[in-house]
Amino acid sequence: MRARTTISVLSAVLVVLGAVFFVTSRPKPQPAVEERPYVWQVDMDDLAKIAIGIPSEGKREAWVQHEDQYWYFDEPNGPRVDMKRWGGGIPLILSGPAANRRIAEKADDATLERYGLADPLMRISLELKDGTAISIDAGDRTPDGLACYVMLTDARDVFTVDVTWYGVLERLVREPPYPP
């Protein structure tokens, strides 16, 4: 009889320990990830004209989408862009980058100067098929070099976006996607 009582007590202790282990070893829910804000957002199919300039170098390239849905250099009898370099990616990344974070809202001139936006490194102009114009300035890199500062020129809200976004657009100007 004593053995049965001991077995019952040990079984109860084992069940309690199992329950405690089950409750305490469950993974904790991950904190909710905040959605990243978009600096601007348009449908890439609404883009009609793209112009990107690097003012400090005096370089600028522009492209327009023709009725055949291909992109062409915006110059008289401009050639069609090299689709191997252009693909669908350029209109996609220009439809609106997700920002890493918002740095400033309605930035004053001193703030724009601090982030390299008073004299931007890159100027982007987008024209939509409905005639809407969007102007974007890109400034300096962040101190860690992983992002750069961007803003809608009219809004003056400063965001950071991944530096690779800037690099792709910079390459389009420095090495334009002319057909082979």
- Locate the domains of the chain by residue range: 44-174
Put the strands of the sheet holding 122-128 in their side by side order: 71-73, 59-65, 47-54, 122-128, 133-141, 147-152, 158-162, 101-104
The pLDDT value recorded for residue 120 is 96
Nearest to 173 by CA among 88, 60, 86: 60
The pLDDT value recorded for residue 83 is 85
CATH topology of domain 44-174: Immunoglobulin-like (2.60.40)
pTM for the complete prediction?
Answer: 0.79
Do residues 160 and 142 make contact, with C-beta atoms less than 8 angstroms apart? yes
Instruction: Please report, for residues 71, 136, 150, the alpha-carbon distance to residue 74 in angstroms, rounded to integers and kept in the order given.
Output: 9, 19, 25
The pLDDT value recorded for residue 1 is 63
The pLDDT value recorded for residue 63 is 95
Q: List, run by run, the mean pLDDT of 10-residue segments along the chain (180 residues).
A: 75 75 74 80 93 96 93 92 82 89 93 94 96 96 94 93 93 91
Q: How far apart, in whole angstroms, are the C-alpha atoms of residue 72 and residue 80?
A: 4
